[in-house]
Amino acid sequence: AITPQTLINIRPVVAAIKEFFGTSQLSQFMDQNNPLSGLTHKRRLSALGPGGLSRERAGLEVRDVHPSHYGRMCPIETPEGPNIGLIGSLSVYARVNPFGFIETPYRKVV
């Protein structure tokens, strides 16, 4: 009988998953002090990591609040120290759509 195990070798897949979750800058242990800290941790945004910026080379203009962040990223919730402006959080009503874009509701002002 044909099974998935006979079609592909699972070891490279398992190794890639372990490598990503074990050593990648994009993964980290979830903060589980209380339910609210876990929720905040899930809504965190980062400009660091592979394909992103480095703390040392990020200038002030990258760390500043940009008008396009309005309603999408919280301008206040960012850590102090070398990560300031590079780590942020989603705003209250913001969400990530299936295409990976951050959406926010808006009202037409007439």
CB 48 within 8 A of CB 54: yes
pLDDT tens-digit map of 50-92? 888 888 888 889 999 999 999 999 999 999 999 999 999 999 9
**Would you state the pLDDT for residue 14?**
92
Listed residue (33, 36, 101) closest to 68, CA to CA: 101
Residue 99: strand, helix, or coil: coil
Question: 43: pLDDT confidence band, cut at 50, 70 and 90?
Answer: very high
Average pLDDT for 85-107: 93
Q: Average per-residue pLDDT in the chain?
A: 89
**Would you state the pLDDT for residue 44?**
92
User: What is the C-alpha to C-alpha distance for residues 85 and 62, in angstroms, rounded to an integer?
Assistant: 7
**pLDDT exceeds cutoff 90 at 22:** no
